Amino acid sequence: DQQVKQNSPSLSVQEGRISILNCDYTNSMFDYFLWYKKYPAEGPTFLISISSIKDKNEDGRFTVFLNKSAKHLSLHIVPSQPGDSAVYFCAASASGNTGKLIFGQGTTLQVKP
């Protein structure tokens, strides 16, 4: 039972354009969501997070949108840069399960120069 799903295994965009990565979840107890960027053989690097009391959070080129009714979140990267090429994971946690992150399967983003 996969509680967090990233249905697109890969995404390719042109440098300077917008990258949109999507994530769906099924557990209504999730109240905190995070996006991580990962390179092979390295640990995930935190990008941005959002609490369920918000529907949008921005940090520089990264914006996360949360649609609680649809149980859907998305990460927007504007403008995309070749250095953004990596695997992106969304993760979710519930306040009753502190310390436990449930990850999606990841989306490989390729930004072409």
Q: Using CB under 8 A, list all residues that contact another protein.
A: 32, 34, 36, 41-46, 49, 89, 91, 93, 95, 97-106
- How far is it, in rounded angstroms, from Cα 54 to Cα 101? 19
- How far is it, in rounded angstroms, from Cα 111 to Cα 85? 6
Q: How far is the CB of 103 from another protein (least distance, A)?
A: 4
- For another protein, give the closer residue by CB, 28 or 46: 46
- For another protein, give the closer residue by CB, 52 or 74: 52
Q: How far is the CB of 51 from another protein (least distance, A)?
A: 8
Q: How far is the CB of 89 from another protein (least distance, A)?
A: 7
DSSP state for residue 15 in the 8-state scheme = T
